[in-house]
Each structure stands twice: as structure tokens, then as C-alpha cells.
């Protein structure tokens, strides 16, 4: 039987390339995104589409119900990929901006997963995968709000993995470093006149979103999925440095010129 996988955030970047790739690998892909224009584009590409705004709990409820109906209450994979970034010094971030950052990057993901688990648990198998970030491991000036949401996503995913132990459902995190996608262009900057930008050196290590695919394949298909999948040299390096370096020295490196 064809395995059904729901992918959120399919309008571009990781979500779009993942949807295209998994369809060629024989999965039944349900492609979710927020904007109606993007839903139309995905439909034209031949995907089964789901309208989903993670910042709207009613939208999440409707999306989950539609997934359950379409799959006959049998979902194999959930790729929680959707998210965005709020950038700017913490003293420029309003409570409302902070709440919306967490609403999309964590609360909506939690609600969607909670509502879809009944379509996974009875079957004794499945994979739940989150797109985290290197910013779920470390943070840098100007990215504290986004990093906080990803740190929280990491803790949430770790807890979910332990709570689902023995059910047959495996839980993994994908932790990309710099990728060439629309993410940076879509960042919500708190200071339009002083935007937080990636350091120039990051361009040397930037990879296309397709770099995520081998990790996604392993997380979906290997009998023993890994807990975490760093992507890009930057993500691997910071994973190691966080373990080895004293915190003050790591701070100095991550502060850069600030």
C-alpha cells in the first residue's frame, strides 16, 4: 500500500523539493501551505493539497480533519517543515511578534501533530520529522526570537520521541545550516532600516534545499532513524563546537563583530 506523507510549508524551499522528491519515490504526498496562490500552483503540479495556516488553530483543525479523511485514518509520515523567522534585537521585538513566532513554529506544529497521531498510532509504524535549524542548537545576535522557537521545537521533539517509544513511530529532527531558499527573503525584520543579515562567509557554505533530501530519506525509511540530522558544514561544525568549547568562547565566536 502506498504510504501517505503530509508535508507542511510546501510553497518553496525544503517543503517543495521534498514533496517533488517523495512523490518520485512512490509516496502519496499531501502538500500543505498557507497561501491560496501557492495551493493553486501545487495543484497544477499534480499534488493533493491541504490549506494550512499554523498560526490559526481553526485552520489546523480543518487541515487535520481533511488529512484523516483523505487517508482513511492512516498516515505514515508527518514532515513538520513549515515555519518562518522573526529577526531583530530582542529589545525591538514586541510580545505580539514573539507570540506569533511561537504560534507558527511550535504551537501549530504541536496541535497538528496531536490531531494526526490518532491516524498513526493504531498502525504501529510511522515517522514524525521536524525541520529545526542550526539556530535550534546555538543563537546569534538578532536571531533570538527565531532561535528560541527552534530551541523549544527541539525540546518538544525530544519529549515526543520518548513518549512515543514502543509505539513504532520514530521522531527525528533535521537541523539545516544556511540553505539557498526563500526563507531569508521572507524573514520578518523588526528593524527594516537595520536588517539582520547572514555573514558573508555563510555564502561559502550555503547549499541548495536538495541537501536535506538524503537526511529525509534516512529519517523516513531507515529501520533506525537518527534523532538528529545536521545539514551543511556549518551545522556539523556548530554541533561539535557547542559540545567542546566553553560557553564564553562560543559566545565570542557567535557574536562576530557585534
pLDDT digits 0-9 by tens, 118-163: 999 999 999 999 999 999 999 999 999 999 999 999 999 999 999 9
* Cα dihedral value 61, 219, 154, 105, nearest 10: -40
pLDDT tens digit sequence for 49-74: 999 999 999 999 999 999 999 999 99
* DSSP per-residue codes, 167-234: TTEEEEEEEE-SBSSSTTTT-EES-TTS-----GGGGGG-B-GGGGHHHHHHHHHSSS--SEEEESHH
With both helix axes pointing from N to C terminus, report the angle between 57-71 and 108-116 in degrees, rounded to the nearest 10: 30
Question: Within its chain, how far is the Cα of 170 from the centroid?
Answer: 16
Of the candidates 76, 146, 229, 236, the residue annotated as catalytic is 146
Domain ranges of the chain: 4-255
Per-residue pLDDT tens digits for 9-55: 999 999 999 999 999 999 999 999 999 999 999 999 999 999 999 99
- Residue of higher predicted confidence among 205 and 7: 7
At the top level of CATH, the class of 4-255 is alpha beta
236 assigned to active site? no
DSSP 128-165: EEEE--GGGT---TT-HHHHHHHHHHHHHHHHHHHHTT
Q: Is the pTM of this model over 0.75?
A: yes
Nearest Cα to Cα of residue 161 among 126, 119, 137:
126
**Grid cell of 17 as nine digits:** 523539493
Q: Which parts of 64-144 are beta strand (E)?
A: 77-80, 86-87, 126-131
- What number is the average pLDDT over the span 166-172? 98
Amino acid at each position: 500500500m502506498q504510504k501517505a506523507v503530509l508535508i507542511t510549508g510546501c510553497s518553496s524551499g525544503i517543503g517543495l523539493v521534498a514533496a517533488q522528491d517523495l512523490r518520485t519515490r512512490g509516496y502519496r504526498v499531501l502538500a500543505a501551505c498557507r497561501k491560496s496562490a501557492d495551493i493553486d500552483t501545487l495543484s497544477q503540479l499534480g499534488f493533493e493539497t491541504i490549506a494550512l495556516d499554523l498560526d490559526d488553530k481553526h485552520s489546523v483543525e480543518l487541515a487535520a480533519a481533511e488529512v484523516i479523511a483523505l487517508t482513511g485514518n492512516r498516515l505514515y509520515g508527518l514532515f513538520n517543515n513549515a515555519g518562518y523567522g522573526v529577526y531583530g534585537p530582542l529589545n525591538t521585538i514586541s510580545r505580539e511578534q514573539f507570540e506569533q513566532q511561537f504560534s507558527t513554529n511550535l504551537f501549530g506544529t504541536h496541535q497538528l501533530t496531536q490531531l494526526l497521531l490518532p491516524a498513526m498510532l493504531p498502525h504501529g509504524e510511522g515517522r514524525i520529522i521536524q525541520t529545526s535549524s542550526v539556530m535550534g542548537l546555538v543563537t546569534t545576535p538578532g536571531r533570538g526570537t527565531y532561535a528560541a522557537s527552534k530551541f523549544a521545537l527541539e525540546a518538544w521533539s525530544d519529549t515526543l520521541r520518548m513518549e512515543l517509544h514502543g509505539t513504532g513511530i520514530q521522531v527525528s529532527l533535521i537541523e539545516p545550516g544556511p540553505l539557498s531558499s526563500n526563507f531569508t527573503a521572507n524573514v520578518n525584520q523588526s528593524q527594516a532600516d537595520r536588517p539582520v543579515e547572514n555573514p558573508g562567509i555563510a555564502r561559502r557554505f550555503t547549499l541548495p534545499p536538495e541537501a536535506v533530501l538524503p537526511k529525509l530519506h534516512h529519517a523516513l525509511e531507515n529501520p533506525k532513524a537518527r534523532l538528529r540530522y545536521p545539514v551543511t558544514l556549518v551545522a556539523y561544525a556548530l554541533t561539535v563546537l557547542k559540545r567542546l568549547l566553553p560557553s564564553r568562547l562560543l559566545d565570542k565566536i557567535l557574536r562576530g563583530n557585534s
